[in-house]
Structure 1
Amino acid sequence: MPKIRLVQGLLFSSVVGLLAYRRRSLSRSGLLGAMIAGTTTVGFGGWKWGLSLIFFFVSSSLFSHFRARDKEQLAADKFSKGSRRDIVQVAANGGVATLLALAYGATPETEQRRREALEASYVGSLAAATADTWATELGVLSTHAPRLITTGEQTEPGTSGGVTVMGSTAAATGAAALGLVFWLLGRADRAQRSLPFIALVSGLLGGFFDSWLGATVQATYYCPICKKETEREVHSCGTLTILRRGYPWMNNDTVNFLATFWGALVALALHLCLRRGKR
């Protein structure tokens, strides 16, 4: 059965990935990364794992293209990369989830408690990725200036660590939706009925952790010509930027990976606490 699912996952992820590539949501390397993640997730996790991964990817891609021109005018020069995701971005957002799918497939069906814990961790990881992406893509369009999560000071749209009510609402909605989709795909299993709640909490905390990292340790550069902050080492104007704060190796992809890992840990902790409460 896993071998059949691996083939099915390869075919399915290839079709979805090629469509995304043609819509300019993925680069060539991003297409390869999506195929690897999709094949692994469906093959070792199953269809509810794979389809929930597709839900994250498709919804995130749709929001990336939503009012794209407005985003370019507001904050395009802030972000280190464009809307076409490469293999590193795919790994940063879905790498933890893919590893959890591998662990799930390697766990015997008789160890039901461990498999349920892995499911919760998977949902938490993807919920954090969904929350962060929805918050970024919709929060940047907020009519109210974002505020730094650390100090509350107003900042420019697209600044790492900036949060808005609109972005936070989008994060909560995306996280809860991811959990609900996974639960419904699992035929609304009563044993896992807490998954939407776990997704909401872990997704929000993962998204806020992402913002906190962005405001404190993520590499932020400064363009001396345009006098603007950016995540790029070379600004959109072509000027070599100057590191203003953070660490050079702590880029947006590293932050996203850590946020999804944190989301998985929070979800696991919630799952274990809720299970103890039922005893």
Structure 2
Amino acid sequence: MINLIFGIILALAISLISYKLKLLTTSGIITTFLLALVIYTFGTWQWTLPIVTFFVLSSLLSKFRKRRNPEVEKYFEKLEQRDHLQVLANGGLASVLVTLNYFYPSKLLYIVYVSMVAAVCADTWSTEIGTSVKTKTVDILSFREINQGISGGISLPGIFASFAGAFVISATSLPWIESNYQNNIIIITAAGFIGSIADSFLGSSLQAQYECKVCNSVTERKIHCGKEADLLKGKRWINNDVVNFGAGISGGIFSLIIYDIING
């Protein structure tokens, strides 16, 4: 009961702050409240700290990037405020793992969970920091130079930011790791970083990208400059939310692979 009460208080606090700072849409705030309530009630701070750290720091980076390089906004499907689909893509499966662990406790499940959060954090930091500075960006598959902000693009600052994001999330798990600190940090950081790279592969190969009929810009948006854009590549049903969800799953899967390699 205490966890439930504190979970409600924490979820309300996060929701109110998000509303005040305009970090989320209305649907995003409602979804965040529900996920925060579930994660804290069933997982306490052990499971809450990683995803709250991701949300807070990534939101601040998003605001910083918008001030530094607002030009890339035209390529993004969604703008600064995150909606319920973005929240679910980044935290929906995480809440399922927390609930599963409540009934079937597992130390390995916790590593998978943190690795998934590390992956979506690494991906977000790669985008926010990688596009906050003017730098060369190339497509991860063709290595052809592309505009900053286009799905599947990678840059040197983005790669370093991705690694940093994964490492920061791995560090939030330290208070609850009983042994093998170094191995767990390596597993989570590596899995998170690889998940971010997987996101770029998915973004380049499968995510829908459109060409505006008016300005000829490549964009993630179906509607651009007030007109329906032409599908340039990818699948219409695979948008950035689907790709982000895939990045999280990739982080979780690779954590199991790396865990088996290190402890096998």
| TM-score normalised to structure 1 length | 0.91
Report Cα offsets for 1:1-47 as digits up to 9, x if no partner. Answer: xx421221121021012101110101111111111111111111221
Unaligned runs of 5+ in 1: 109-114
Q: Residues 30-179 of structure 1: matches in 2 within 5 Å? A: 30-73=28-71, 75-108=72-105, 115-179=106-170
Query: Does the 8 Å contact 2:27/2:83 carry over to 1?
Result: yes
**2:192 corresponding residue in structure 1:** 203
Query: Does the 8 Å contact 2:65/2:128 carry over to 1?
Result: no
Separation in 2, partners of 1:217, 1:254: 10
Of 49-58 and 135-144, the range deviating more from structure 2? 135-144
Query: Does the 8 Å contact 1:6/1:39 carry over to 2?
Result: yes
Report Cα offsets for 1:208-267 as digits up to 9, x if no partner. Answer: 1000011011000000210110000111x2121011110010000000001101111111
Separation in 1, partners of 2:185, 2:39: 20
Superposition RMSD in Å = 1.3
Separation in 2, partners of 1:194, 1:99: 25
Query: Does the 8 Å contact 2:65/2:129 carry over to 1?
Result: no
Q: What one-letter code is carried by the residue in structure 2 that aligns with 1:249?
A: W
**2:241 corresponding residue in structure 1:** 253
- 1:151 CA drift (Å): 1.1
1:10 aligns with 2:8: yes
| TM-score normalised to structure 2 length | 0.96
Number of equivalenced pairs:
264
Separation in 2, partners of 1:174, 1:30: 22
Query: Does the 8 Å contact 1:41/1:101 carry over to 2?
Result: yes
Q: What one-letter code is carried by the residue in structure 2 that aligns with 1:270?
A: I
Separation in 1, partners of 2:65, 2:51: 24
Query: Does the 8 Å contact 2:65/2:131 carry over to 1?
Result: no
Separation in 2, partners of 1:116, 1:268: 12
- 1:48 CA drift (Å): 1.6
- 1:190 CA drift (Å): 1.6
**1:112 corresponding residue in structure 2:** none
Unaligned runs of 5+ in 2: none
Task: Look up the SS of the partner of 1:77 in the other structure.
Answer: helix
- 1:192 CA drift (Å): 5.0
Separation in 1, partners of 2:51, 2:92: 11
Query: Does the 8 Å contact 2:66/2:132 carry over to 1?
Result: no
